[in-house]
Amino acid sequence: AIDSNFEANRERVGEEDGVAVWGPVEPPEKQGIRGTHVAVDFDICLADGACLEDCPVDVFEWTDTPGHPESERKANPADEDQCIDCMLCVDVCPVDAIDVDPG
Ligand code: SF4
Ligand code: F3S
């Protein structure tokens, strides 16, 4: 499962499409965690798609990760600012790749 303390345990290595990137990032095998309020561990996500289907405010969009061992696309929390903390995505992800911090 995603480390819910990633902000303390990982280094913020940059930003992509307005979404924070938390390392380590070594493409294509290591893609890191994306997002802060809504965070997705790209190295755990296997492109199930339930989060994209179920999020009531369409926070997620697909982003391509060619060559990644789990899946060649990931759910990027591109519109995490829109999140209403319903926790649906956290509940439906089969591999617990998502952390939402209502703080
Ligand atoms: Fe969308 Fe709810 Fe997940 Fe926020 S907690 S990203 S609103 S499904
Ligand atoms: Fe990935 Fe889980 Fe969404 S596997 S596509 S983060 S439901």
Q: How far is the CA of 8 from the centre of ligand 2 (A)?
A: 23
State yes or no: pLDDT of 98 exceeds 90.
yes
**Alpha-carbon 41 to chain mean position:** 5
Tell how far the Cα of 43 is from the centroid of ligand 1, in angstroms.
20
CB 95 less than 6 A from any atom of ligand 1: no
Total count of domains within the chain: 1
Residue 36 falls inside a structural domain = yes
> What is the DSSP track for 9-78?
HS-EEEEETTEEEES--BTTTB--EE-SSEEEETTT-----HHHHH-TT---EEEE-TT-SS-SEEEE-T
Whether residue 23 lies inside any domain: the answer is: yes
In a domain, 1, yes or no: no
Give the domain extent around 21.
6-100
Residue nearest to atom 4 of ligand 2 (CA): 45
pLDDT digits (tens, 9 = 90+) for 51-90: 999 999 999 999 999 999 999 999 999 999 999 999 999 9
Cβ of 50 below 6 Å from ligand 2: yes
For the question of an ipTM over 0.95, the answer is yes
Residue 25 belongs to some domain of the structure: yes
d(CA 34, CA 75): 9
For residue 77, give the CATH number of its domain. Answer: 3.30.70.20
